[in-house]
Amino acid sequence: MTVNLTSAPDTPLTFHGEMTIYTANEQFQHLQQHLSTHPSLVLDLSGVTELDSAGLQLVLMAHTEATRRNIPFRLHNPSLIVQEVFHLLRLERALMPTTTAPKSGS
Amino acid sequence: MSLNMDAARQAFIEEVAELLQSMEDALLALEDNPADNESLNEVFRAMHTIKGTGGVFGYMPVVEFTHAVESVMEEVRSGREPMSEQLICILFACRDHTSRLIEAIVEMGEDSGKPLSSDLIATGHDLLKQLTQRTLQTTNITPNTPEQPKYLPIVSDVWMIALDFGRNALRNGMDPLSFLRYLGSLGDIVDVVTLSVPPPLNEEFDPESCYLSFRIAFRSDADKPTIAAVFEFAEDDCDIRILPPDSAQDTYLDLLASLSDTQVTRIGEMLVSIGALTPNELARALAHQADERNTDAISETHSEHTANQRLGDILIQQGSIKPAVLEQAAKTQEAARAKRQDETRFIRVDAERLGHLINLVGELVTSSAAIRIMVERAGVENMNEVVDSVDYLVAEIRDNALQLRMVPIGESLSRFRRVVRDTSKELGKNIELVITGGDTELDKTVVEKITDPFMHLIRNAVDHGIESPEERARVGKPVNGTITVNAYHDSGHIVIEIEDDGAGLDVKRIRAKAEAKGLVKPEDTLSHEETLRLIFAPGLSTKDSATNLSGRGVGMDVVRQNIEALRGSVELDSVLGQGTKITIILPLTLAIIDGFLVGAGRDQYVIPLSQVAECVEMKAAGEMLKPHNGHYINLRGEVLPFIRLTELFNNQHTVRHEHRESLVVVRFGHHKVGLVVDTLLGELQTVIKPLGKLFEELRGIAGATILGTGDIALILDVSELAMIGQMKRHHSDLRHS
């Protein structure tokens, strides 16, 4: 997993590799750091290869937090793995209002 | 605590053994009829239950493996996949692997967390690979028409499932998403509402805690237990509620109304049995009820009845069931309670306790014999009647106590089906195993001890007995070989015959081999039967090369020893080219017998009454034949060898006085022999005490017993005596010719 941090205002927070219980703590730190320095929350999930409940929870938490702070929240180009999880939980509406859902994976 | 765990673990192991056995039976049945739904369910249930209980103990390797097998079975059960012969083969292997996994865990004992041997892990992976690859291969086959689901088919309505995961769910290795994915494989997830409730301040958010809740609308033909099973492992870390669709409710009501009286139990159990409630939901409600009761204990106003009603309320509250179903259940229960009288019919008893009871009964038998003697000596006339009735009762108690240990032999015989199936496949032979008389009863301890010798005999029959199909075709036999196992009772004994229609034993080869080994001298003349019996001698195997299956040192001599240790005997009959028949005769029980007490010389002997054919006066029995080393008598035109006990045991009275000898004719199998004794002392119940190691080599003695007088009498081993008698007869026959 790698995380890219830059200080430009609309810069996305990029998560690579797995977003699982094993990486959740670390990724949470990055998220907090990003929130403290940025006025928006754009998550780039294009490189996510694995998403489990802990990872999903982190995304949900970010969404809640953005809503609470009243800052923009956007998911940038989520990978197929991520889309599949969102579809399973019917989360596309809430998290990705503009993207179309992938075909059912089941 | 650890004691309890041990007991629980023991129960688990026993349960698994039973389940695996029934799985094996089911698989064998499936081989004959792949469409047998009942057997299909049986295999599924076995894997499912082992997975469930294994999970309770935290035996993760078992859980993972059985889960994979169960998933495949589920596919087959739902008709999405046909049952193929290949799959049955893999399932057999899976069953064996499960058994080995359990064994490995048992060996580990307390530290079940230790990693498994790489060997086991490799086998497991290999099997799982076979299972999944096979699934890929068969996906293009058109599925069978879906099978009727086990409980309730629900076609048009939606289940409501609520999952509230506990904070520690993730830390405990749970991945809530995987449950949803699995659920998706059972039907159609119509909608999901994901509720994530993190703490208000994001600093308190712990990314490793779980804050997830789901509300799921789910459409499926699966029944409630199947759906509940999806979440089985989340049980501890998740609050689960599953509410069936309305369409299911009517069916539940019908099922409840039609429950037979014997099925009506406690309300929760009834609901579980029709599938309206899962066992876990019930357990949760009961736990809740117990809590409530503890807090309310001070008021002490709760009768059984109100507690019962409240269980229903709790079930409704926790969203497990709808009120209408509960009402019907209560009605059915009420109606049945009025009618029912009979209680649960079976009790599981520890075999050790039973053994103890039988020992005590044995002591009782000895004591009551002592009382009889005392009364006779004292000459108290009016005591006799009492003693008679006590004797009668003791005999009844003895018979009943022994009956408790009797089990049908079929159970242990049926496991040979698998052995025959596997070994014949391995050898490329077609062999059918026919078992008759499986309900013949036998003492459980005897059953346990004959399993190994039997296994050996059956393997012998498969390996050496039955020829290859080509060979059979060449000699004009049906291509399929047959092994027949037949069991029946005969005069206080159980007779088990194992017969094959194979090649038979080659007497010449046995003879040659025995001479090579120095067991017989070239100049000895032996009858056909005697030569056959040579294979029971240590170190004699007619098959020159040892195969995988038999001939690895454990020979027929061990079989014979094992059976003789049980006071049984083995007989052998074989015709070259036509087959071999092995007859095993065993006493029904090892502990107590009805005996016939006789006196010979200075000692007293007990002959098992069931083997006594008749008693005649020696003088009246007929002219002595000419003695050829042995003794013969003409009993109503029949030549009968006899043995004079005083000569055999060399214990004549020092002062020889005139007396009338009696002849007790005993029979064993089809052998008959006469025993000449001095006095006949009558029947008595005998507790068999085994003789010590020192006397193991003693021929003709099975054990000893303590008489009412305190004297010791030896129990005669009729089979050995008959053998001694017959041997003499053969020798003399040979000399005649």
Domains of chain A: 3-95 (3.30.750.24)
Q: Do A88 and B184 touch (CB under 8 A)?
A: yes
Q: Do B212 and A53 touch (CB under 8 A)?
A: yes
Q: Do B170 and A27 touch (CB under 8 A)?
A: no
Residue A98 Cα to chain centre, angstroms:
15
Q: Do A61 and B196 touch (CB under 8 A)?
A: yes
Using a CB–CB cutoff of 8 Å, tell me whether A33 touches chain B.
Answer: no
CATH of domain B407-587: 3.30.565.10
Phi, psi (deg, nearest 5) at residue B239: -90, 115
Kindly list the residues from chain B whose CB atom is less than 8 angstroms away from the CB atom of residue A53.
169-170, 174-177, 210, 212
pLDDT score for B82: 75
Task: Using CB atoms, pick whichever of B176, B191, B202 lies closest to residue A65.
Answer: B202
Q: What is the DSSP string of B168-213?
A: TTTTTT--HHHHHHHHHHHSEEEEEEEEE---SSGGG--TTS--EE
Name the residue among A20, A32, A28 with its Cα closest to residue B171: A20
pLDDT score for B183: 84
Share of chain A above pLDDT 90, in %: 0
Task: Using CB atoms, pick whichever of B189, B191, B208 lies closest to residue A54.
Answer: B208
Q: How far does B171 lie from chain A, in Å, by closest CA?
A: 8
Chain segment B662-680, per-residue pLDDT in tens: 889 887 766 788 888 888 8
Amino acid letter for position B258? S
As a residue count, chain B comes to 737
Burial class for B390, CB neighbours closer than 10 Å (0-12, 13-18, 19+): middle
Q: How far apart are CA B478 and CA B473, in angstroms?
A: 7
Q: How far apart are CA B517 and CA B175, in angstroms?
A: 68
Q: How far apart are CA B206 and CA B213, in angstroms?
A: 16
Top mean-pLDDT range of B74-88, B328-342, B421-435: B421-435
Q: How far apart are CA B647 and CA B601, in angstroms?
A: 9
Q: Do A24 and B214 touch (CB under 8 A)?
A: no
Contacts of B109 (CB under 8 A, 6+ apart): none
Best residue in B194, B203, B213, B231 to probe A by mutation, most A CBs within 10 Å?
A: B194
Question: Helix, strand or coil for residue A72?
Answer: coil
The two three-digit tokens of residue B203, written as one number: 């600093």
Name the residue among B659, B689, B672, B668 with its Cα closest to residue B599: B659
Residues of B with CB under 8 A from a CB of A: 169-171, 174-177, 180-181, 184-185, 189, 191-194, 196, 198, 202, 205, 207-208, 210-212, 214
Identify which has the larger pLDDT, B270 or B353: B353
Q: Do B208 and A61 touch (CB under 8 A)?
A: no
Q: Do A61 and B191 touch (CB under 8 A)?
A: no
Q: What is the mean pLDDT of residues B344-362?
A: 78
Share of chain B above pLDDT 90, in %: 1
Contacts of B300 (CB under 8 A, 6+ apart): none
Task: Using CB atoms, pick whichever of B177, B193, B202 lies closest to residue A53.
Answer: B177
- Say if residues B34 and B88 touch (Cβ distance below 8 Å): yes
Amino acid letter for position B11? A
Kindly list the residues from chain A whose CB atom is less than 8 angstroms away from the CB atom of residue B198.
57, 60-61, 64
Using a CB–CB cutoff of 8 Å, tell me whether A91 touches chain B.
Answer: yes
Q: Say if residue B316's pLDDT is above 50.
A: yes
Name the residue among B94, B84, B20, B13 with its Cα closest to residue B54: B13
Q: How far does B9 lie from chain A, in Å, by closest CA?
A: 32
- Say if residues A84 and A102 touch (Cβ distance below 8 Å): yes
State the first-to-last Cα distance of chain B, in angstroms, to the nearest integer.
76
pLDDT score for B139: 39
Kindly list the residues from chain B whose CB atom is less than 8 angstroms away from the CB atom of residue A55.
none
Question: B481 pairs with which residues across the strands?
Answer: B431
Domain boundaries, chain B: 2-138, 159-339, 351-405, 407-587, 592-736
pLDDT score for B266: 63
Answer yes or no: same fold for B407-587 and B592-736. Answer: no
**Dihedral sign, Cα of residue B601, residue B603, residue B607, residue B609:** positive
Q: Do B194 and A89 touch (CB under 8 A)?
A: yes
The DSSP output letter for B550 is S
Interface confidence, given as ipTM, is 0.81
Q: Say if residue B251's pLDDT is above 50.
A: yes
User: Which residue from A minimizes the CA distance to B198?
Assistant: A61
Q: How many CB pairs under 8 A join A and B?
A: 70
Phi, psi (deg, nearest 5) at residue B132: -75, -40
Q: How far does A8 lie from chain B, in Å, by closest CA?
A: 24
Question: Helix, strand or coil for residue A31?
Answer: helix
Q: Do B196 and A60 touch (CB under 8 A)?
A: yes
Task: Using CB atoms, pick whichever of A25, A64, A106 lies closest to residue B196.
Answer: A64
The DSSP output letter for B81 is S
pLDDT category at A7 given cuts 50, 70, 90 is: very low
Q: Say if residue B261's pLDDT is above 60.
A: no
pLDDT category at B353 given cuts 50, 70, 90 is: confident
pLDDT score for B246: 64
Q: Do B194 and A106 touch (CB under 8 A)?
A: no
Q: How far apart are CA B148 and CA B403, in angstroms?
A: 42
Q: Edge-to-edge, what's the strand order for the sheet holding A3-4?
A: A3-4, A13-19, A41-51, A73-76
Identify which has the larger pLDDT, B638 or B115: B638
Amino acid letter for position B184? G
pLDDT category at B338 given cuts 50, 70, 90 is: low
CATH number for B592-736 (one of 2.60.120.260, 2.40.50.180, 1.10.1040.10, 3.40.50.1980): it is 2.40.50.180
Q: Do B198 and A32 touch (CB under 8 A)?
A: no
Q: Do B191 and A90 touch (CB under 8 A)?
A: yes
pLDDT score for B231: 82
As a residue count, chain A comes to 106
State the first-to-last Cα distance of chain A, in angstroms, to the nearest integer.
27
Task: Using CB atoms, pick whichever of B169, B184, B208 lies closest to residue A106.
Answer: B184
Structure-token match 């009338």, residue found: B660
Q: What is the mean pLDDT of residues B261-270?
A: 60
Kindly list the residues from chain B whose CB atom is less than 8 angstroms away from the CB atom of residue A90.
191-194
pLDDT score for B548: 40
What part of A 40-69 touches B (C-beta under 8 Å)?
A: 51-54, 56-58, 60-61, 64-65
Task: Using CB atoms, pick whichever of B170, B198, B202 lies closest to residue A53.
Answer: B170
Amino acid letter for position B269? E
The two three-digit tokens of residue B604, written as one number: 């007293």
Count of alpha carbons within 13 angstroms of residue B720, beta-carbon side: 19
Best residue in A31, A57, A83 to probe B by mutation, most B CBs within 10 Å?
A: A57
CATH of domain B2-138: 1.20.120.160
Q: Do A61 and B202 touch (CB under 8 A)?
A: yes
pLDDT category at B146 given cuts 50, 70, 90 is: very low
Q: Do B180 and A65 touch (CB under 8 A)?
A: no
- The enclosing H or E element of B327 equals helix B323-339
Q: Say if residue B375's pLDDT is above 80.
A: yes
Kindly list the residues from chain A whose CB atom is less than 8 angstroms away from the CB atom of residue B175.
21, 52-53
- The enclosing H or E element of B282 equals helix B279-296
pLDDT score for A103: 42
pLDDT category at B447 given cuts 50, 70, 90 is: confident
List alpha helices for B340-488, DSSP H. 351-378, 383-404, 410-427, 444-460, 469-474
Q: Say if residue B730's pLDDT is above 60.
A: no
